[in-house]
Structure formats: C-alpha cells, structure tokens
Amino acid sequence: MVDLSPCDVCRPACLRERLADSGADSSALAVLDEAVTAADAPDGTAGRVLVADATRVLLDRHTEVPPERGTATWGAVPDLLGVLGAVGEDVATVVVALDRTGGRIRGVDDTVEEVSTDSGGPVHKANVAGPGEGSADARVEETWKRNARAVAERVDTIVRGGNADLLVVAGDAESRARLRDELPPASAAIMAEVENTRGTAPEQVDDTVRAAADEVREARRGEAVSSFATASGRDDGLAVTGLGDVVGATRAHAVETLLVDPSAVPGTELVAGTDPAAVGEKADELVGDTPVLSGPAANVLVRAAAATDAAVVLVHPGDEVPLTDGVGAVLRLPVGPAA
C-alpha cells in the first residue's frame, strides 16, 4: 500500500525505495510507478491511497484529508486497517441542484444529467399585484409543482438504481421543499439540504456533500457499536469478542459486522487459506484448506470480512464498548457452544 500526501507527489522515489527495501518485487513497483505518473493531480489538498499487486492496481482512492507524511508498506496482505482509516466507508451519494424550471442531477457513478420540463407554463410571479394576478400566480405555482414532480421522479429512479445512501439537494428553500413533497418516502428520508442561491460556489456544495457523507458514516458506525453492545448483553451467542472467538466465527462465515479497535488489536500473525475466510492462528485450524499467506491479525480479518460481505467498523476511543484483543463481531448466526 502507498499513501501519498501532496508533498510526496514530487518525490515518489522515496516511497518506492521503502517498498523495495521491504521486498516489493519489480512488477508491483512498475504497476505503482505507472499509477503515480499517469494520474492527474487532484484539485485542492488531498491524499491518495494505492493498493497494488504484481499485475494491477487493486485500489486507487483520493482522501479528503492528506496524511501528515507518506507511508508505504509491502506484504502478503495489504495494510487494510490503514486503508480503512484513510479512505473511510463509501457513501453512495446523489447530488441535485434545483431551480424552478428543473434540476441538474449527479448520480452515484458521477454521471450528470439535466432534467428540464417543457410545460410551457409561466415560472415567474408578478412583482406588482393587479387584476387577475392571483390566478396568474396560481398558474406559476402549478408550473413549479409540475417541474418539481418531474425532477422528483427522475431523482427517485437514480437513487433507487444506484442504491444511494444519501441525497444532497441544493437550491432555494421553496424548490427544496417542493422536491421533498414530491419524493417517495424512502428517497425523502435520505435527503440532506443546502441553501444554494445564485452565485454560490460549487465547492461550497461539495463541502456539504462531504459533511453529510461523514454524518451518514458516523451514524452507521454508532448503530454498529450499539448493536454489538446490545447483542453482547444477551446470551444468544450473536456477539463475540477476543481474537480466538472472532477467528472461529470468521472461519464459519458467520460474521455480519467486524469491530476493530486499532489501538488495542494485537500484532498476532494469522494464516489464511485459499478461502479468505479460512483463517487461524495455526495452520492446522484451517480444516480442509491450505495456508497460502500470513499477516497481521487485523488485516487478515478485514480481508476475510470483505470476502464474506461483512461490514467493518473502527471503534473510537470514546466508544464505551470493551473489546478483548481489540476485536469483536456481531454474528449472522451463533457458532460454537452457543449454536
């Protein structure tokens, strides 16, 4: 794994040398060389995380906050705990910029499309009241409502199609309210709003998108920690803690959510088989499988979690959740004596 800070872009040779000194082969170094030199520099201040093997780049992500200094690690298992800390969990986001004639939608895949209506109705109210202006204003209101309905239909389709976790809507207060009223409940429930009047800089909207995504991540994390605490208080075996029990649950493909306290997890090495979930402290624990690699416990467990569609949650110092050996898990089904 390579984690580049902005100042490291000018001296990738330093990080390359660290990888070579750690045993990285020439093929992997060549893959990273190409990735570093071929990419455009990100706008503003950002970091970059690269994970590669001897044949290809496995992960290439920019981070909003750069690391204090660049890091480079080489091993059979990537520094996945470091990747999680730097990159964070993906929050699939749809962004909408509204006006009274339609909207501009950026989907989860960053595809942008314009939604404009051709109703032919008026979109501006009269500035001065006069005979008949009340009915004219009513026609304007109806046009606004039709336009909002058209945008809402397209937004909902994009939200559902992209399995979005967050919908950020920019526009004046009335336009946002009309869109919310027209959205189905599921899409309205994930909507975050930002005041975006004429002249607002695009980066201000992006700041809101990042802040809203952070709130979603923290809410998910809090829910996972709370679920573990609740399950730990029951005797149904759906929560375990301690390296041995978590390893056993991982091997059984039973982990729904893996919790890791980076400050407390031991440096114990685990082995893993051809099945990434076939993990153990000793090779003979991999019944029916053959060890193919070994690495730090946290990284091997995170790798197994990714392979079995389990969520991974980093426990923070302020969380009141005791984890033996710095690891715990909420299970899909009980394993061991509680099963």
In a domain, residue 212? The reply is no
Domain residues for 154? 93-200
The answer to whether 154 and 137 are in contact (CB under 8 A) is no
In the chain, the percentage of residues whose pLDDT exceeds 70 is: 85
Q: Are strands 311-314 and 255-260 parallel, antiparallel or unpaired?
A: parallel
In a domain, residue 82? The reply is no
Q: Are residues 232 and 191 in the same domain?
A: no
Q: Are residues 305 and 331 in the same domain?
A: yes
State the CATH number of the domain containing residue 118.
Answer: 3.30.420.60
In a domain, residue 28? The reply is yes
State the CATH number of the domain containing residue 258.
Answer: 3.30.1330.30
In a domain, residue 84? The reply is no
Q: Are residues 322 and 261 in the same domain?
A: yes
**Across all residues in the chain, what is the average pLDDT?**
85
Q: Are residues 114 and 195 in the same domain?
A: yes
Q: Are residues 285 and 243 in the same domain?
A: yes
pLDDT of 31 > 50? The answer is: yes
Q: Tell me the whole-structure pTM to 2 decimals.
A: 0.77
The answer to whether 333 and 310 are in contact (CB under 8 A) is no
Task: Look at the chain and report how many structural domains it folds into.
Answer: 3
In a domain, residue 129? The reply is yes
Structure tokens given for 207: 């700041």
pLDDT of 201 > 50? The answer is: no
Of 20, 48, 75, the position where a domain reaches its end is 75
pLDDT of 42 > 90? The answer is: no
In the chain, the percentage of residues whose pLDDT exceeds 90 is: 54
Q: Are residues 97 and 71 in the same domain?
A: no
**Residue with tokens 């893993």, as numbered in its chain:** 272
Q: Are residues 98 and 71 in the same domain?
A: no
Of 200, 229, 255, the position where a domain reaches its end is 200
pLDDT of 60 > 90? The answer is: no
In a domain, residue 258? The reply is yes
In a domain, residue 80? The reply is no
Q: Are residues 34 and 104 in the same domain?
A: no
Q: Are residues 332 and 238 in the same domain?
A: yes
CA-based nearest residue to 339, from 272, 260, 275, 245 = 245
Per-residue pLDDT tens digits for 267-294: 899 999 999 999 999 999 998 888 999 9
pLDDT of 238 > 90? The answer is: yes
Q: Are residues 255 and 166 in the same domain?
A: no
Structure tokens given for 140: 């304007």
Look at residue 4 in the predicted model and tell me its pLDDT. 54
pLDDT of 141 > 80? The answer is: no
Look at residue 197 in the predicted model and tell me its pLDDT. 53
More confident residue, 182 or 48: 182
List the single range of 52-66, 113-127, 140-154, 248-262 with lowest mean pLDDT: 113-127
What is the distance, to the nearest Å, from the Cα of residue 155 to the centroid of all Cα atoms in its chain? 21
Look at residue 125 in the predicted model and tell me its pLDDT. 44
More confident residue, 133 or 316: 316
Look at residue 126 in the predicted model and tell me its pLDDT. 43
Residue ranges of the alpha helices (H) in the chain? 12-21, 26-38, 80-87, 133-161, 173-182, 185-189, 202-232, 243-251, 297-307
Look at residue 205 in the predicted model and tell me its pLDDT. 77
Look at residue 45 in the predicted model and tell me its pLDDT. 66
Average pLDDT value for residue range 320-334: 95
pLDDT of 236 > 60? The answer is: yes
Q: Are residues 238 and 283 in the same domain?
A: yes
Q: Are residues 248 and 167 in the same domain?
A: no
DSSP class of 252: T
Structure tokens given for 151: 């945008």
More confident residue, 123 or 23: 23
Average pLDDT value for residue range 75-80: 90
In a domain, residue 194? The reply is yes
